[in-house]
A and B are shown apart, each in its own frame.
Chain A
Amino acid sequence: MSAHHPPLAELYPHRHLLGIEGLQPNEIVALLDQAEAAVEISRQVEKKKAVLRGRTQINLFFEASTRTQSSFEIAGKRLGADVMNMSVASSSVKKGETLVDTAATLNAMHPDIIVVRHHAAGAVHLLAQKVGCSVVNAGDGAHEHPTQALLDALTIRRHKGGIAGLTVAICGDILHSRVARSNIILLNALGARVRVVAPSTLLPNGIAQMGVEVFQDMRKGLAGADIVMMLRLQRERMQGAFIPSVREYFRYYGLDRDKLAAAAADALVMHPGPMNRGVEIDPEIADGPQSLIREQVEMGVAVRMAVLEALAAHLPNK
């Protein structure tokens, strides 16, 4: 298929992937198309490509993450890279080194791609300014998580044939969610109608101007929706601070059969994981026929392969 298309370097003309913001719709589509090919590779017995052979990929995770980190690790290895995982516990950050010092140290090791997860919004941008290699944002604070939005879009596209015209309801802790921000930008760019559903305490200021319709009542927010995207509620938000209790949250904002019935009959349910069963989602729904949650994980590897391959096209060859 690539034979009929311009090279990936032209379709995705960026050195980094720092966010969905700033990407053109055709660039997003190019990554999704590339990811389709990666899905095929991942389903073969022989899963290796040589695109990143000889390249060094560092997964720099300042925040613990099993699924995103392993997904990037597998993606890099399938493309032939040498992948090193560096987590905060074993890093010198604990010894007081600043983020910029860490960047300089890593830079001296000549990595080709650094994948960064950080608890502070903007940290990945700062790091990208200080290193010479390509940088992928694997989540920075409550700002962006671009590969999650891409994998969500890929999953939706494979089931619904496209994104444009779909009604997507993003439900739960929008305020603290980087997944929500990346998805709002991406889904709007590809022509979906985006809704958010949450108690007002879990909505950021100015949400109505962020390209979404806002609902506090979940049944109204889900009415006729094609996609119901649930967000994880962080433990520390549960008790009394932003919502009164788990049981009240589940009553009004947990996705159960009753609330899901308000959505379109063929609505699909998504969750970026890890799930709190019985908090934001009823196990019956999470494991039910409308759930795409496990498929999202598979698409995660494919999307990350596509992103790494797109960045590889911009790596210097000498």
Chain B
Amino acid sequence: MANPQSPILLTNARVIDPASGLDAPGSVLIENGRITAAGPAAQNQGAPEGTEVIDVAGAVVAPGLVDMGVTVGEPGAEHRETLASASQAAAAGGVTTIVTSPDTDPVIDDPALVDFVLRRARDTACVNVHPFAALTKGLSGEEMSEIGLLQEAGAVAFSNGHRSVTHAGIMRRLMTYARDFGALVVHHTEDPALAGAGVVNESLSASWKGLPASPREAEIIMVERDLRLAALTRGRYHAQSVSCSESTKAIARAKADGLDVTCGITVNHLTLNENDIGPYRTFFKMSPPLRSEDERQAMIAALADGTIDVIVSGHDPQDVETKRHPFAEAADGAIGLETLLAAGLRLVHSGEIGLATLLAAMTCNPARRLGLEAGRLAAGAPADVVVFDPDRPWVLDKTRLKSRSKNTPFEDARFSGEVLHTIVAGKIVTP
């Protein structure tokens, strides 16, 4: 049922819309859950009767973030994260759309389960939720899932969660079949056989620590294989989370060859490196593993030149029981919804990335790749908006995190840039 809300006018703003290249002082007017005007044109134009006027005092008004790398625990691990708690964490971080991984229990590999996620999200979540459906049944990497029926049920793309499809013949058929339906294949690129028992990047520091390590080639080989298959099948492909310069070089070549391929990266791999693991801190254990500083720098360059399209949080809630283990035995994963924007702004403050480039990778780029309406401030677009002060300092206090799990690699981190308001479909959801 349509819930009539009073219009909102955000004034005295720096309006940034990466999709149109807009970055100018102005206002944003929101009516009936949609943006009706944005930018200088919306300034001093008045507003309808009953409009709530918010003077944002020079803060940035941008499209709400679209995070296509979010794992939740619902169904199956609600103690780690529910759709409701994930959505609250998202709202706190300025994320207005989350795209959920299918690796829940049960795996989202049946149209009825897509329907379940969508209904639970509608009833309990305060941001937009779109599910990825499983690429293969049970994420086994063996039998293809019902790509047509799952897409009709509302899956926005197909992912094998945190597992790679190792069988090249099966991957070829998946990409071929998905192409018939115009479906995007999103893939975690890590060859499990080559990664072996590795839990950190293969390097001198791993050797000194005595930890089993995974070479960069475990990722590079999988990315290169997938790109060859994308060329063979002409399928639509997105590497979910790359971390190596050789991977992005291969993707840049594939793009130059006209393939319909894109890639993403987690904000962790842009802002942290293997040295952050320090004395075996398990909150820094993730897949792919954090790489060397050289690789991190190369990833920033690839983001700047457009090879990397999308930044995700890689949000992966783990409870104390799965993280409080010796490093090699602890689970992978870090939460990140609440720190996605703030961590990303570190790159802006250090002068490594422009604010528009950063925001594009978190808004219009993922939205466009997934065919979502979100991620832009144009008149008529959904009123999913983030208002943030890019310079306001704050310190992450993990007791104040909205997420049910607290496995953040940014504990006690000092950030510059804080979310002031998050608006979803014209409704202010935070603070």
Contact = CB atoms under 8 A, between A and B. Distances in A.
B177 A243 contact: yes
A249 to B, nearest CB: 9
Interface string A46-86: 00000000000000000000000000000000000000000
Contact of B143 (A200, A239, A247, A251): A239
A242 B142 CA distance: 11
A212 to B, nearest CB: 17
A241 B143 contact: yes
Interface in B371-427: none
A201 B176 contact: yes
Interface string A17-48: 00000000000000000000000000000000
Given A240-B136, A241-B173, A244-B143, A200 B180 contact: yes
B142 A199 contact: no
A97 interface: no
A201 B232 CA distance: 12
Interface stretch (B55-63, B84-92, B145-153): B145-153
A240 B170 CA distance: 9
B180 A199 contact: yes
B177 A240 contact: no
A110 B180 CA distance: 53
B142 A252 contact: no
Interface string B155-186: 00000000000000010010011011000000
B359 interface: no
Contacts of B144: 240-241, 243-244
B281 interface: no
Nearest to B177: A201
A98 interface: no
A287 interface: no
Interface string B278-321: 00000000000000000000000000000000000000000000
A245 interface: yes
A247 B146 CA distance: 9
A62 to B, nearest CB: 26
Chain A, interface residues (CB within 8 Å), range: 10 to 19
* Chain B CB within 10 Å, residue with most, of A199, A201, A239, A242: A201
Interface string A87-104: 000000000000000000
A76 to B, nearest CB: 42
Interface in A223-258: 239-245, 247-248, 251-252
Contacts of B145: 244
Contacts, number: 44
* Chain A CB within 10 Å, residue with most, of B143, B144, B147, B176: B144
A175 B72 CA distance: 40
Contact of B148 (A240, A241, A252): A252
A252 to B, nearest CB: 5
A216 interface: yes
Given A201-B173, A201-B176, A240-B137, A248 B143 contact: no
Given A240-B137, A240-B142, A241-B143, A248 B148 contact: yes
Given A240-B142, A243-B144, A248 B180 contact: no
B147 A244 contact: yes
Contacts of B180: 199-200, 216
Nearest to B109: A244
B146 A245 contact: yes
A200 B137 contact: no
Interface string B123-153: 0000000000000110000111111110000
Contacts of B148: 244, 248, 251-252
A242 B173 CA distance: 7
Contacts of A252: 148
A186 B179 CA distance: 31
Nearest to A203: B176
A244 B233 CA distance: 18
Contacts of A245: 146
A216 B176 CA distance: 11
A163 B162 CA distance: 54
B123 to A, nearest CB: 28
Interface of A: 199-201, 216, 239-245, 247-248, 251-252
